[in-house]
């Protein structure tokens, strides 16, 4: 009892470790206390015991069961003789050029330093909590363990990176063409007379060399991520840290911190290493970089979970202290810290080739196979027809080069660049060009919750008062969604407590901004309540000034409530207001304010309270209870010396006024975007570090879990009637997997979950678990996109087929690890990117059809040359001119084609079967359009030569005489070589072909209509090129022929 006769409330509750506002089970009606899972104490037989699993398909009756694990923790006082904890390895490398063991990095973190009593921990680390280490001992440990910094990844030389682009992928096909051109020119140079040598192959080879070098230089500057990722991690590390050494406080370089150091941290500091908390005062840390939790987490000396990421007595390297002070002992440094493992995993994880790179490899394989097949066949035929082997070899090389799509790489690169620019205008910033198409191929999206699906701002969603749940409206325009009865006397009391029992306040100079966009000094919960009250009743700051605060007990992890006492504005006296964890607040109350009347807190009122508590909890909302008490003026007159240490004022028999429910609400555009993904055949999986109840509630609101669909866990707990109807957990289509369940799953069990359920939520996941989920999806053959904004997401972002980071809330590390950045942090922008990716895949197919169509007609003159002894109707120089002038721009224009009508109604393409180049595409390019175009070229060739006296029957077999050097200047009155008529006809027929290639729909429906604005001007390049054809051929003739024939050629003009 206090001096005033009031009962003192205990300041600690060993049975309750719930955080402020945590979602907890409903109240027990009989005891008015919530049902609660017992916390883990120092029971060594239970320290490493796996949690109970809830996988219905795996753990129901008849399913496989995992045998119970038996494990104990032994105490070793000597650090040198203690065996390493389970799955904890030292990542310190023998050499800074060695790569870490990725298999070990991917394993779950298992440490026991936080589970043992502090005295044993000090003995193990050989340190003193009061005096710390000696300087001599610290130096020995620093020499042994190395500096407290992250080891940079093994750097690949810049030349090797450039060589990868120069000789890898499609570049190799162009190198083959280059080598063959040089070989053909070399054979001519060595075996022919100088006057017979042509330079076509030389110039074509040089052109191919320029294309491959320029494309490689462009690609090289697109990708430099690994070193940037590690540099981003290093920026998170503080430079100096306060430690206790030799019994005195010292400021040392963070890189000199060692295991066993006693460190002191306070609000604003960054954790210098992984530490076990040994003392704390209202200490909170931002764990979002490790676990993804958006709320600041309370840290205390109490051990609360064997899972190190869940225990409250651990603080991790690089996390920020948000409130209070603490003293801790360092247990791990550098690469051995949790963030060190994440950094090494993100920088060294195996990168999978993008679907587009695989498709281009497939194009190379197909093109090369066809080229060598056709070339080989006609090489043999040329030998059969009596050609000299050298002529046959040169002919073989020319045929192969003719089949190489020289302009395709440039076409693909430019198309992807243009699409990336278009996506940037839609808030999708592309870092890796291949990612443009990868997003369109995505079949599974693993998305984070906070900031991506939600608005990343805590908001008041509901209030419970007068035995009713009312919807709160926190929109700026007051759109009328609120159902709060502002005329109720209870609302006035509720609003009074919410405004006064709150320390949040707006930062200065923001009057011109909307209330919801103003910056606030205060934590997320108080910020949400402050903005809510300001919107409902503007002028909170002046109201507080009228009710001067005279005493306060701030919130802490032991009390789980906040109390403040204020002077009344309507006369003498004081008002006590309180908010905090609902179960703690309710225990201090004896009455409930209903419709302005004090009603005893009996069984009837408790039923209403529990119903609201359970309903709001199922919605994933965080609850805070509010209460008040008018202090008697005779006992607490003005000037009364309130003592918050000895508590000389009432803390019981208070008046409960209601509940306030907080949530980070979904973005308005997300539900529609999720539905679009479903229609497009894309599976959306939520992977979050948040609470399972909150995660499930948001998943239902945005449509990841369909309306009315029960999860496997809910069906397992459902009524016998439902189970008799066949609705069991084994038939469920949705499930929520806790990180502790995932921790003990085998790979086969994870694969079962991913395949058996169409709607999946993973909650309370660690960085390695997120990576494991991504790898599990990839093992199914899926193309996986991953979204994330925290450091904890970086390994999964690096491993994904396409990593997508948040541009506003995303950390620098996540942005460096990602392939794409959402500038508005909106999930709906991903769907826009998916549509753009599918459109570019369609348009690339059109461009490839158009590009490959000319390969057959370019080859046909060579075939006629050898089989029918016709004059060579198309020279190598003209092939080059077609590929890089008349073909290139129209092919690029196809990237501007609008989407097909069914682009977002198709299932994702199967990367194993649905290729960029298919048999149907080759048939259309080579046998449909190609034959028509080739025959058109030969028809023009025969018609024009026939009009000038060379009838078709005389052309067959004329090749030997035609190639005679004495007759080499066969030209017409305009100086045009007649054989180049094939060039003109093929160039003109490509206009019609480009129009037909511009749509995959029937020609009569939309051919040439989607992108006509860009397509028709690009097709206009054909007559331009033909207009300059005369000077081009004239120059070629002057440089490729000897001087006497050049003079004769000019004289004929």
User: Which amino acids are annotated catalytic?
Assistant: 448
CA-to-CA distance for 733 and 712, rounded, in angstroms?
7
Classify each residue of 823-835 as buried b or exposed e, where b means 16 or more C-beta atoms within 10 Å of its C-beta: eebbbbbbbbbbb
| Helix H or strand E encompassing 328 | strand 320-332
Helix (H) or strand (E) holding 566: strand 561-567
If we measure between CA atoms, which residue out of 363, 275, 372, 382 comes closest to residue 326? 275
* Residues 455 and 663 sit within 8 Å (Cβ to Cβ): no
Beta-carbon contacts of residue 1006 (< 8 Å; ≥ 6 apart) = 999
- CA neighbours within 13 Å on the CB side: how many for 1016? 7
- DSSP tag of 107: S
CA distances to 222, 343, 348, 679, 793 from 805, in Å: 17, 16, 19, 24, 9
Q: How far apart are CA 877 and CA 396, in angstroms?
A: 17
Q: In whole angstroms, give the CA distance from residue 980 to residue 372.
A: 26
Query: What gap in Å lies between CA 925 and CA 938, rounded to an integer?
Result: 18
Structure tokens at 557: 């992890």
Q: Assess contact for 855 and 926: CB atoms under 8 A.
A: yes
**Helices H, strands E: what count in the chain?**
41, 26
Q: What is the dihedral of CA 271, 274, 279, 284, to 10 degrees?
A: 50
Pairing of strands 802-806, 820-822: parallel
Place of tokens 């003009």: 1053
Q: Could you give the CA distance from residue 226 to residue 549 in angstroms, rounded to a whole number?
A: 53
| Burial of 644: CB neighbours in 10 Å, binned 0-12, 13-18, 19+ | middle
Burial (CB count within 10 angstroms: exposed 0-12, middle 13-18, buried 19+), residue 10 = exposed
* CA angle, residues 251, 257, 259, in degrees to nearest 5: 135
From CA 399, how far away is CA 373, in angstroms rounded?
10
The candidate with the shortest Cα–Cα distance to 860, out of 933, 811, 788, is 933
Q: Show the DSSP H helices in 789-909 as ranges.
A: 794-799, 812-817, 827-853, 855-867, 876-881, 888-893
Q: How many CB atoms lie within 10 A of CB 304?
A: 17
Which among 260, 276, 288 has a CA at the least distance from the CA of 148? 260
**Residues paired with residue 762 on neighbouring β-strands, in sequence order:** 687, 737
**Is residue 92 a contact partner of residue 336, using CB atoms and an 8 Å limit?**
yes
Report the Cα–Cα distance between both ends of the chain, in Å, rounded. Answer: 120
φ/ψ of 963, rounded to 5, equals -80, 0
Structure tokens at 787: 């979204």
Nearest C-alpha neighbor of 831 from the set 673, 666, 668, 671: 673
Q: Chain centroid to CA 267: how far?
A: 31
Beta-bridged to residue 578, according to DSSP, are: 563, 627
Residue 780 CB neighbours (<10 A): 12
Instruction: Return the closest-CA partner of residue 837 out of 357, 353, 409, 416.
Output: 416
d(CA 512, CA 761): 41
């Amino acid at each position: 009892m206090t001096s005033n006769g009031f009962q003192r409330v205990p300041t600690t509750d060993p049975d309750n470790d719930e955080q402020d506002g945590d979602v907890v089970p409903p109240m027990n009606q009989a005891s008015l206390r919530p049902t609660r899972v017992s916390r883990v104490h120092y029971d060594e037989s239970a320290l490493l015991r796996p949690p109970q699993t809830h996988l219905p398909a795996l753990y129901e009756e008849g399913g496989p069961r995992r045998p119970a694990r038996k494990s104990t923790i032994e105490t070793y006082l000597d650090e040198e003789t203690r065996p390493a904890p389970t799955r904890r390895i030292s990542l310190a490398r023998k050499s800074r050029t060695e790569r870490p063991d990725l298999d070990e990095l991917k394993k779950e973190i298992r440490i026991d330093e936080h589970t043992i009593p502090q005295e044993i921990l000090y003995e193990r680390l050989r340190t003193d909590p009061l005096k710390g280490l000696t300087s001599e001992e610290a130096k020995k440990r620093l020499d042994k363990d190395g500096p407290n910094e992250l080891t940079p990844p093994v750097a690949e030389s810049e030349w090797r990176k450039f060589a990868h682009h120069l000789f890898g992928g499609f570049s190799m096909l162009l190198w083959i063409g280059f080598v063959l051109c040089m070989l053909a020119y070399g054979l001519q140079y060595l075996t022919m007379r100088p006057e017979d040598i042509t330079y076509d192959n030389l110039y074509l080879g040089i052109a191919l060399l320029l294309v491959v070098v320029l494309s490689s230089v462009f690609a090289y500057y697109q990708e430099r991520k690994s070193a940037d990722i590690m540099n981003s991690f290093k920026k998170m590390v503080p430079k100096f840290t306060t430690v206790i050494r030799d019994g005195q406080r010292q400021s040392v370089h963070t890189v000199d911190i060692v295991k066993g150091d006693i460190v002191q941290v306070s609000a604003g500091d960054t954790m210098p290493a992984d530490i076990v908390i040994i003392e704390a005062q209202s200490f909170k840390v931002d764990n979002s970089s490790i676990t993804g939790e958006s709320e600041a987490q309370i840290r205390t000396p109490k051990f609360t979970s064997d899972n190190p990421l869940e225990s409250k007595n651990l603080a991790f390297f690089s996390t920020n202290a948000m409130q209070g002070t603490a003293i801790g002992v360092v247990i791990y440094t550098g690469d051995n810290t949790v963030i060190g493992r994440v950094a090494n995993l993100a920088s060294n994880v195996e990168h999978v080739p993008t679907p587009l790179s695989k498709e281009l490899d497939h194009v190379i394989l197909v093109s090369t196979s066809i080229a060598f097949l056709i070339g080989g066949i006609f090489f043999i035929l040329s030998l059969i027809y009596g050609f000299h082997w050298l002529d046959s070899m040169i002919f073989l090389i020319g045929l192969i080069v003719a089949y190489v799509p020289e302009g395709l790489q440039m076409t693909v690169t430019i198309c992807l660049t243009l699409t990336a620019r278009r996506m940037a205008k839609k808030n999708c910033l592309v870092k890796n060009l291949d990612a443009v198409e990868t997003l369109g191929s995505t079949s599974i999206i693993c998305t984070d919750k906070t900031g991506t699906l939600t608005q990343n701002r805590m908001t008041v969603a509901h209030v419970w008062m007068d035995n009713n749940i009312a919807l709160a409206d926190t929109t700026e325009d007051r759109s009328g969604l609120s159902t709060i009865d502002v005329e109720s006397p209870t609302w006035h009391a509720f609003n009074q407590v919410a405004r006064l029992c709150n320390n949040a306040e707006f930062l200065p100079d923001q009057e011109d901004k909307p209330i919801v966009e103003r910056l606030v000094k205060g934590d997320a919960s108080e910020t949400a309540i402050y903005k809510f009250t300001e919107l409902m009743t503007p002028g909170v700051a002046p109201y507080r000034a009228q009710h001067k605060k005279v005493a306060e007990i701030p919130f802490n992890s032991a009390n789980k409530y906040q109390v403040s006492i204020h002077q009344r504005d309507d006369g003498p006296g004081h008002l006590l207001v309180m908010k905090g964890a609902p179960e703690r607040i309710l225990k201090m109350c004896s009455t409930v304010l209903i419709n302005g009347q004090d009603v005893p807190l009996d069984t009837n009122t408790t039923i209403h309270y529990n119903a609201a508590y359970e309903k709001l909890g199922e919605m994933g909302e965080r609850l805070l209870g509010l209460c008040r008490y008018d202090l008697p003026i005779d006992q607490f007159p003005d000037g009364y010396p309130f003592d918050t240490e000895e508590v000389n004022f009432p803390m019981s028999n208070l008046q409960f006024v209601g509940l306030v429910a907080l949530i980070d609400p979904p973005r308005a555009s997300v539900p529609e975007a999720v539905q679009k993904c479903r229609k497009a055949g894309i599976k959306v999986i939520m992977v979050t570090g948040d609470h399972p109840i909150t995660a499930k509630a948001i998943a239902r609101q945005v449509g990841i879990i369909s309306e009315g669909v029960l999860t496997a866990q809910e069906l397992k707990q459902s009524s016998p009637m439902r189970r008799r109807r066949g609705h069991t957990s084994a038939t469920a289509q949705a499930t929520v997997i806790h990180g502790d369940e995932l921790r003990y799953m085998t790979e086969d069990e994870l694969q079962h979950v991913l395949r058996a359920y169409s709607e999946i939520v993973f909650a309370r996941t660690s960085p390695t678990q997120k990576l494991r989920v991504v790898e599990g999806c990839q093992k199914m053959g899926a193309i996986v996109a991953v979204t994330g904004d925290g450091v904890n997401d970086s390994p999964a972002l690096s491993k994904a087929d396409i990593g997508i980071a948040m541009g506003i809330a995303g950390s620098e590390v996540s942005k460096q690890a990602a392939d794409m950045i959402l500038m508005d942090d909106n999930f709906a922008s991903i769907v826009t990117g998916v549509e753009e990716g599918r459109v570019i895949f369609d348009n690339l197919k059109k461009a490839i059809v158009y590009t490959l169509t000319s390969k057959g007609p370019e080859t046909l003159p060579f075939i006629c040359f050898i089989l029918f002894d016709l004059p060579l109707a198309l020279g190598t120089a003209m092939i080059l001119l077609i590929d890089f002038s008349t073909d290139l721009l129209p092919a690029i224009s196809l990237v501007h084609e609008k989407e097909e009508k069914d682009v977002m109604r198709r299932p994702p393409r199967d990367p194993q079967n649905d290729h960029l180049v298919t048999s149907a595409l080759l048939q259309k390019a080579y046998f449909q359009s190609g034959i028509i175009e080739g025959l058109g070229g030969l028809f023009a060739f025969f018609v024009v030569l026939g009009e000038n006296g060379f009838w078709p029957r005389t052309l067959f077999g004329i090749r030997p005489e035609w190639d005679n050097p004495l007759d080499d200047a066969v030209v017409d009155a305009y100086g045009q070589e007649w054989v180049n008529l094939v060039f003109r006809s093929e160039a003109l027929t490509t206009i019609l072909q480009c129009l037909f290639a511009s749509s995959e729909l029937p020609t009569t429906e939309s051919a040439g209509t989607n992108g006509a604005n860009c397509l028709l001007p690009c097709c206009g390049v054909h007559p331009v090129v033909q207009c300059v054809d005369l000077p081009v051929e004239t120059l070629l003739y002057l440089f490729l022929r000897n001087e006497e024939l050049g003079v004769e050629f000019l004289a004929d003009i």
